[in-house]
């Protein structure tokens, strides 16, 4: 089997900076128009369309047309896992980068490091702190990989209203360890991570900062989660 050819093709596809930026941007889990991605990357609409077509044909993105707009998003959690894993391992292997310059760049970088969405689950300091708290309470097991304990299954149902059938409905792993590229530690992914993120956003315990991936813990969320988990989850501490 020509696995090396498939590997080379995928590596070549993501080696382009514009395509890599599109994939990283789409890690927020939302659908973007081709025009929005073009503007974000600083390329022409025609160039963006060409790159997006290649990513769709490779199965990394899916698209839909609505009126004259072309919307694209990652093809699923498996693609998000691939992109996030590549980012994490690239950061671990790379030589130290220059820190961001300018107040705007520094502020954005700090916000992402403190808390962000990693496709459909929480990452950054906040995501790792939540994972540590769940593990300390015996709700997840992180010694070998990551798994939801029986007590954790009950906690998701009682605290968040997420039933066991909800966790197993998608066919993806219930719990999965995801390497955090800023913290260089594990945060919770999988169906449990996705439901946790969705529930905290719905309750406004966690809120998005602007239109990007950055999120923050609200005072109400800090109080509620401290009561539920018994630890202070303030990412600034």
Q: What is the pLDDT of residues 53-74, one digit of tens each?
A: 999 999 999 998 888 888 999 9
The Cα–Cα gap between 84 and 27 comes to: 8
Per-residue model confidence as pLDDT tens digits over 187-197: 999 999 999 99
| Residue 116, beta-bridge partner list | 123, 214
Report the alpha-carbon distance of residue 177 to residue 59 in Å, rounded.
Answer: 24
Specify whether the CB–CB gap between 134 and 128 falls below 8 A.
no
How far apart are the C-alpha atoms of 94 and 84, rounded to whole Å?
15
Entry pTM: 0.72
Q: Is the pLDDT of residue 100 over 70?
A: no
| 106 band by pLDDT with thresholds 50, 70 and 90 | very low
- How high is the pLDDT of residue 144? 78
Rounded Cα distance, 55 and 15, in Å: 12
User: What pLDDT was estimated at residue 201?
Assistant: 95
- Domains, the chain, with CATH or none: 3-75 (1.10.10.10), 102-229 (no CATH)
């Amino acid at each position: 089997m020509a696995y090396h050819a498939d590997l080379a093709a995928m590596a070549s596809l993501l080696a382009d900076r514009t395509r890599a930026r599109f994939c990283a941007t789409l890690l927020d889990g939302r659908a973007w128009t081709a025009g929005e991605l073009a503007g974000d990357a600083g390329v022409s609409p025609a160039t963006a369309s060409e790159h997006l077509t290649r990513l769709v044909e490779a199965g990394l993105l899916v698209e839909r047309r609505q009126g004259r707009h072309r919307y694209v998003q990652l093809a699923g959690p498996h693609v998000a896992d691939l992109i996030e894993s590549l980012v994490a391992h690239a950061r671990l292997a790379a030589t130290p980068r220059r820190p961001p310059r300018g107040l705007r760049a520094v502020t954005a970088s700090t916000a992402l490091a403190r808390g962000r969405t990693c496709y459909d689950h929480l990452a950054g300091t906040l995501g790792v702190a939540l994972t540590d708290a769940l593990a300390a309470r015996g709700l997840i097991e992180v010694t070998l990989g990551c798994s939801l304990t029986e007590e954790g299954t009950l906690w998701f149902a009682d605290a968040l209203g997420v039933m066991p059938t909800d966790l197993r409905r998608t066919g993806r792993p219930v719990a999965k360890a995801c390497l955090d590229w800023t913290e260089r530690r594990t945060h919770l992914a999988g169906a449990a991570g996705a439901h946790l993120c969705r529930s905290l956003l719905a309750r406004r315990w966690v809120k998005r900062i602007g239109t990007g991936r950055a999120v923050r813990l609200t005072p109400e969320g800090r109080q509620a989660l401290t009561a539920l988990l018994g630890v202070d989850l303030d990412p600034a501490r």
